[in-house]
Amino acid sequence: MPRYKFVVEYDGTPFVGWQTQKNGLSVQEVMEAAFLALTGEEIRLRGAGRTDTGVHALGQVVHADLARAWRPDVLREALNAHMRPNPIAILLAEEVPDTFDARFSAIRRHYLYRIVNRRAPLTVDAGRAWHLKRKLNAEAMHDAAQLLLGEHDFSTFRDSQCQATSPVRTLERFDVSKYGEEIQFRLSARSFLHRQVRSMVGSLENVGSGKWKARDMKAALDAHDRRRCGPVAPPDGLYLTQVDYGEGVQVEDDGD
């Protein structure tokens, strides 16, 4: 059975997340329905990251095994047609070895979080960024974010429903930059705990607004206590932007 890798973009606003659930429509459900309509096969897709309700993706990666070979560009176009009008698009389709696994072969995941920091309400970016009226200090947030880099027990920033076997993760990048009214948080790691990104961004907002100092962020991290976490940032501003791969690497990830 040939295996195919798909790079997928979606607006997470109308979905309960990537993974199929009983409480609403998921990205996985829409994609699997498209495969069924096209191929007549009940395909079970595996995604690189289990994005949560309302979280977006610019570079989610999915793999599927099909009964027969398809030309990748034909497969991409046909599946996109079957998924309309849902806001999901396959950007790239390619055949890969059967050793490739969208989730377990991943060696790095990259996320972007967007805050629009202005008084006026959002229009174009409504549902696609966190709108905050109070002025934030992006430089202070960047400095505090650097204290989270490296290997740590991230229990403070781990959702209570997280199913990961260990709270220890290695955060490779956490940059905070300001572009006019927009503040961008860019993070990279092999894997993230459930809602870890949103928990860290929400806590950094405390630093940006002056409620916390950088030392308070470090104290929250070192406490290994979920009760020390700041407010969890809403899903609107979170994007899974890219997934990097290396052969044969087995990585646990609970997504965000």
Catalytic residue set? 52
Q: Strands 56-65 and 88-96: what pairing?
A: unpaired
Query: Do residues 174 and 154 touch, judged by C-beta distance below 8 A?
Result: no
Cα Rg of the chain (Å, integer): 19
Query: Do residues 235 and 129 touch, judged by C-beta distance below 8 A?
Result: no
Question: Alpha helices, DSSP H only, in the chain?
Answer: 27-39, 72-83, 138-145, 196-208, 214-223
Query: What's the per-residue H, E or C state across 194-215?
Result: CCHHHHHHHHHHHHHCCCCCHH
For residue 121, which of 181, 166, 55, 76 has the smallest C-alpha distance?
A: 181
Structure tokens of 136? 């934030």
For residue 254, which of 15, 28, 12, 49 has the smallest C-alpha distance?
A: 49
Query: For the chain, what percentages of helix, strand and coil (3-state, to nearest 5) are there?
Result: 25, 30, 45
Looking at residue 143, what DSSP letter applies?
H
Looking at residue 180, what DSSP letter applies?
T
Q: What is the C-alpha to C-alpha distance for residues 112 and 123, in angstroms, rounded to an integer?
A: 20
